[in-house]
């Protein structure tokens, strides 16, 4: 039976005081984490490397046993009944774990057979999912013959073969091109509309903000925040940012430029971010007051290093700013 909270809200996932302790570790991986995921919502679970995110998801998907606390998925206690839990959840890992010796269709049918789906049902369902995920034209192809985006679609289709109540997606769009990423986002929205609960772990803040009804942020084994992306961002309404992208010059380096930018009057902090194009340097500058007056001083500092300023955006805070604010700026 599904877990029901006060107010008759049906829960797809319930985590209470979850603890994970390893014998030789100096600190607990999880220190009493509690949260709930509502039925039919897309739930983003975010955290830096080593924050406890993977441990939590590992417990929820029965790969890791908790030291203490309780974790329930679709009404099934994952520690007390891991076999039952696997019947009601689906997992799409970050790494390709399709059977390379089987065709696309055989991968789906074998998965359904493992979960006890009747033969007639699994054959029909496989054909339907292959069509839905744009794979019906090559059902007999082997995984090695497909692109990364197609592999991701195969793994999602396979995870849906036993009609899970909760689908866990680990870094679903990593390595995908823009078209494949958009297709994936559309499918997640369709799954939500169909009533499937989706839990996403991701480092892509745009992905989390776009897809998630609510977002949880964890660090050092402790849940730091849980709310809608909009509410989390509104909590930083007083913050202002200046986003700058530049082409590196013949001399200087990104770290030195970041230090120089941080020395400007009115600058509170400077974060070097990933450049989506992969060709330049990108910084987010947190400022006191309005960011516009800082454009000229920033341009001067950049020019002194020999770099070329290619884009400047004055911005309000976003989910990435919330994440950095809560988890810190140090690389893990």
Q: What CA–CA distance (Å, rounded) separates 244 from 256?
A: 15
Answer whether 0.85 is exceeded by the pTM: no
Q: What CA–CA distance (Å, rounded) separates 198 from 13?
A: 10
Q: How many CB atoms lie within 10 A of CB 39?
A: 18
Which of 121, 66, 61, 112 shows the shortest CA–CA distance to 91? Answer: 61
Q: Which residues pair with 47 in a beta bridge?
A: none
Cβ–Cβ under 8 Å, residues 186 and 110: no
The tens place of each residue's pLDDT in the chain, 332 residues long, gives: 344 444 446 899 999 999 999 988 889 999 999 999 999 999 999 999 889 999 999 999 999 999 999 999 999 999 999 999 999 999 999 899 999 999 999 999 999 999 999 998 999 999 999 999 999 999 999 999 999 999 999 999 999 999 999 999 999 988 888 998 999 999 999 999 999 999 999 999 999 999 999 999 999 999 999 999 999 988 875 568 888 999 988 877 888 899 999 999 999 889 888 766 667 899 989 888 888 999 999 999 999 888 999 999 887 788 988 998 899 855 55
Pairing verdict, β 68-73 and 3-4: unpaired
Using the 8-state DSSP alphabet, how is residue 161 labeled? T
Q: What CA–CA distance (Å, rounded) separates 213 from 43?
A: 6
Cβ–Cβ under 8 Å, residues 309 and 302: yes
Q: What CA–CA distance (Å, rounded) separates 289 from 312?
A: 17
Which of 244, 208, 198 shows the shortest CA–CA distance to 322? Answer: 208
Indicate if the alpha-carbon torsion angle 242, 243, 245, 251 is positive or negative: positive
CA 246 from centroid of its chain's CA atoms: 27
Structural domains in the chain, CATH included, are: 3-234 (3.40.50.300), 240-315 (3.30.70.1340)
- Residue 74: left (phi > 0), alpha (psi -120 to 50), or beta? left
Which of 302, 299, 291, 246 shows the shortest CA–CA distance to 269? Answer: 291
């Amino acid at each position: 039976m599904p877990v029901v909270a006060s107010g008759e809200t049906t829960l797809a996932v319930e985590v209470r005081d979850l603890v994970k302790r390893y014998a030789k570790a100096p600190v607990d991986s999880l220190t009493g984490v509690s949260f709930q995921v509502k039925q039919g919502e897309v739930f983003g679970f975010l955290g830096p490397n080593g924050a406890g995110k993977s441990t939590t998801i590992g417990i929820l998907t029965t790969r890791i046993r908790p030291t203490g606390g309780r974790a329930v998925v679709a009404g099934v206690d994952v520690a007390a009944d891991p076999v039952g839990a696997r019947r009601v959840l689906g997992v799409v890992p970050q790494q390709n774990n399709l059977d390379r010796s089987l065709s696309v269709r055989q991968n789906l049918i074998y998965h359904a057979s493992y979960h006890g789906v009747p033969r007639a049902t699994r054959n029909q369902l496989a054909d339907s999912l292959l069509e839905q995920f744009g794979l019906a034209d090559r059902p007999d192809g082997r995984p090695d013959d497909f692109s990364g985006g197609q592999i991701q679609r195969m793994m999602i289709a396979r995870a849906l073969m036993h009609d899970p109540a909760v689908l866990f997606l680990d870094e679903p769009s990593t390595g995908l091109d823009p078209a494949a990423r958009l297709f994936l986002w559309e499918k997640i929205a369709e799954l939500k509309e169909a009533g499937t609960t989706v839990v996403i772990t991701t480092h892509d803040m745009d992905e989390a903000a776009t897809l998630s009804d609510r977002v949880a942020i964890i660090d050092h084994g402790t849940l730091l925040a849980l709310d809608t992306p909009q509410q989390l961002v509104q909590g930083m309404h007083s913050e202002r940012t200046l986003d700058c992208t530049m082409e590196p010059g013949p001399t200087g380096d990104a770290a030195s430029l970041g230090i120089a930018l941080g020395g400007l009057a009115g600058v509170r902090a400077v974060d070097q971010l990933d450049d989506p194009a992969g060709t330049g340097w990108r910084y987010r500058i947190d400022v006191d007051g309005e960011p516009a007056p800082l454009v000229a001083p920033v341009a001067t500092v950049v020019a002194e290093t020999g770099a070329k300023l290619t884009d400047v955006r004055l911005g309000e805070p976003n989910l990435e700013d919330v994440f950095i604010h809560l988890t810190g700026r140090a690389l893990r």
